[in-house]
């Protein structure tokens, strides 16, 4: 028991060390090395039957030997990723795919020592940011790879295309002799068939430089990037990296199974913060304000002591299905009410004053243009719906 407690403490400390490195934004290689050490410690710890109160199960019809088609979930994830990015309307995008088995097979046939697979993989992963010559210099100068081996890698990783490239590599005299690469290429060929059936093959590119630094990926990997377009006036080139990514990690979840059973997994994640930065930059370039509310109209008053009248009008609008609100102050200044609309992005203001109440009208103000018109109270709902039913500007 004492030995196990000491090992559990080492696991805890190593886990804290890994989290600290991530907070400090340490290099991917350093983090990967420490994560590997953490996994080794956990492996030494072994299963504790007394602590496991759950059992990981695969679907009843799943057969890892071949009855279950492993590429259907991968194709479905890519379809979901494309649907999400299309719905966000953040611009044209491309999803790059590769397979870790192809990468490992490629390194093997090029002559990369087994001990350098992961560190060379992290260098290849930089090709979307720096030119090949810089990557090669890092491999040779910093990581001790033979120049001729780096050149052989360069012949492969600078290729990208579709299913035709997969078929070409299946005939490659070196790759076709490597079991891992052959399995990965076979699965990618099947994956592209399903992507064509899903209608998204034109959004997918087989990119041999895609590496995804995390070591737990075991098969297909993918990453979505925005396609650069000519910058509009006031815009700077977007450099946010990938906006979505994922892949297959068949060996990860099984680590937490008491019996060590293999649990196939595939998943994806969307970079919400990166997408927000894109949207914010484009809105700033267009000098557009971000709407912080869905309110369609603010009910405002031009004079004091009209709180009850404001409450009556906002209630009428609510009953008619209009998204309306009012400031909670008893006697807010009109200027403050108008400024609130501009800051929150509320498009309309319904203004009532003593004269409007006498005439049976409401002054409707368009916040953007500052144009004001008197609308008869019984026609107000119809007019607000007419104005707010116009399609919004898509930025």
Q: How many domains does the chain have?
A: 3
**CATH number of the domain that 16 lies in?**
1.10.287.10
76 lies in the same domain as 112: yes
Q: Which pLDDT score, from 0 to 100, does residue 67 have?
A: 54
pLDDT at 112 over 80: yes
Asked if residue 258 is part of any domain, the answer here is yes
31 lies in the same domain as 81: no
Residue that terminates a domain, selected from 224, 254, 286: 286
150 lies in the same domain as 88: yes
Q: Which pLDDT score, from 0 to 100, does residue 58 have?
A: 57
253 lies in the same domain as 333: no
Q: Which pLDDT score, from 0 to 100, does residue 367 have?
A: 93
200 lies in the same domain as 92: yes
d(CA 247, CA 71) in angstroms, rounded, equals: 11
Q: Which pLDDT score, from 0 to 100, does residue 234 have?
A: 45
The residues near 95 (Cβ < 8 Å, ≥ 6 apart) are 78, 81, 82, 203, 204, 205, 222, 223, 224, 244
146 lies in the same domain as 224: yes
**Average of pLDDT values for 320-325?**
94
Q: Which pLDDT score, from 0 to 100, does residue 59 have?
A: 56
Q: Which pLDDT score, from 0 to 100, does residue 290 have?
A: 63
Asked if residue 292 is part of any domain, the answer here is no
Q: Which pLDDT score, from 0 to 100, does residue 237 have?
A: 47
Asked if residue 51 is part of any domain, the answer here is no
95 lies in the same domain as 207: yes
Question: What is the chain's mean pLDDT, rounded?
Answer: 85
144 lies in the same domain as 185: yes
220 lies in the same domain as 115: yes
Residue that terminates a domain, selected from 286, 308, 330: 286
CA distances from 276 to 168, 268, 273, 353 (A): 39, 18, 5, 41
**CATH number of the domain that 277 lies in?**
3.30.930.10
Helix axes 117-124, 147-157, angle to 10 degrees: 50
19 lies in the same domain as 80: no
Highest-scoring range by mean pLDDT, 4-18, 41-55, 151-165: 151-165
pLDDT at 325 over 80: yes
Q: Which pLDDT score, from 0 to 100, does residue 395 have?
A: 37
170 lies in the same domain as 70: yes
Asked if residue 155 is part of any domain, the answer here is yes
**CATH number of the domain that 301 lies in?**
3.40.50.800
The β-bridge partners of 207 are 160
pLDDT at 254 over 90: no
Q: Which pLDDT score, from 0 to 100, does residue 179 have?
A: 94
7 lies in the same domain as 104: no
Asked if residue 117 is part of any domain, the answer here is yes
**Average of pLDDT values for 288-302?**
83
**Average of pLDDT values for 337-366?**
94
The residues near 165 (Cβ < 8 Å, ≥ 6 apart) are 159, 206
Query: Around 158, how many Cα atoms within 13 Å sit in the side-chain half-sphere?
Result: 12
**Average of pLDDT values for 53-63?**
55
d(CA 180, CA 130) in angstroms, rounded, equals: 28
Domain assignment of residue 39, given as a range: 1-45
Instruction: Express as a percent the part of the chain with pLDDT over 90.
Output: 56
Instruction: Express as a percent the part of the chain with pLDDT over 70.
Output: 87
The tens digit of pLDDT for each residue in 36-51 reads 888 888 888 776 544 5
pLDDT at 263 over 60: yes
Residue that terminates a domain, selected from 286, 307, 332: 286
Asked if residue 111 is part of any domain, the answer here is yes
Q: Which pLDDT score, from 0 to 100, does residue 65 have?
A: 47
The tens digit of pLDDT for each residue in 115-131 reads 888 889 889 988 888 99
Full-model pTM: 0.61
Asked if residue 291 is part of any domain, the answer here is no
């Amino acid at each position: 028991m004492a030995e196990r407690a000491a090992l559990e403490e080492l696991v805890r400390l190593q886990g804290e060390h890994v989290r600290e490195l991530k907070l400090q934004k340490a290099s991917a290689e350093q983090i990967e090395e420490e994560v590997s050490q953490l996994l080794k410690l956990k492996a030494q710890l072994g299963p504790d039957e007394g602590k496991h109160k759950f059992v990981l199960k695969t679907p009843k019809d799943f057969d890892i030997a071949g009855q279950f088609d492993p590429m259907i979930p991968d194709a479905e994830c890519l379809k979901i990723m494309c649907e999400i990015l299309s719905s966000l309307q953040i611009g044209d995008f491309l999803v790059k795919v590769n397979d870790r088995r192809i990468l490992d097979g490629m390194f093997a046939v090029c002559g990369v020592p087994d001990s350098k697979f992961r560190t060379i993989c992290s260098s290849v992963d930089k090709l979307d940011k720096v030119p090949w010559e810089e990557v090669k210099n890092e491999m040779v100068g910093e990581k001790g790879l033979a120049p001729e081996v780096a050149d052989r890698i360069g012949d492969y990783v600078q290729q990208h295309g579709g299913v035709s490239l997969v078929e070409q590599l299946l005939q490659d005299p070196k790759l076709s002799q490597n079991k891992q690469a052959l399995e990965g290429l076979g699965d990618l060929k099947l994956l592209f068939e399903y992507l064509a059936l899903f209608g998204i093959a034109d959004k997918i590119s087989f990119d041999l430089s895609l590496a995804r630094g995390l070591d737990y990926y075991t098969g297909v990997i993918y990453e979505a990037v925005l396609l650069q377009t000519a910058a509009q006036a006031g815009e700077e080139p977007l450099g946010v990296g990938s906006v979505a990514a994922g892949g297959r990690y068949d060996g990860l979840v099984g680590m937490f199974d008491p019996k060590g059973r293999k649990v196939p997994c595939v998943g994806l994640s969307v970079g919400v913060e990166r997408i927000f930065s894109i949207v914010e930059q484009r809105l700033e370039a267009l000098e557009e304000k971000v709407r912080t509310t869905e309110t369609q109209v603010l009910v405002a008053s031009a004079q004091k002591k009209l709180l009850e009248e404001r409450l009556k009008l906002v209630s009428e609008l609510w009953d008619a299905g209009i998204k309306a609100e009012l400031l909670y102050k008893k006697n807010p200044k009109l200027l403050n009410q108008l400024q609130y609309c501009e800051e929150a992005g509320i498009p309309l203001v319904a203004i009532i004053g003593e004269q409007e109440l006498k005439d049976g009208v409401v002054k409707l103000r368009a916040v953007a243009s500052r144009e004001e018109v008197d609308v008869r109270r019984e026609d107000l709902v119809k007019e607000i719906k007419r104005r707010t039913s116009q399609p919004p500007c898509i930025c």
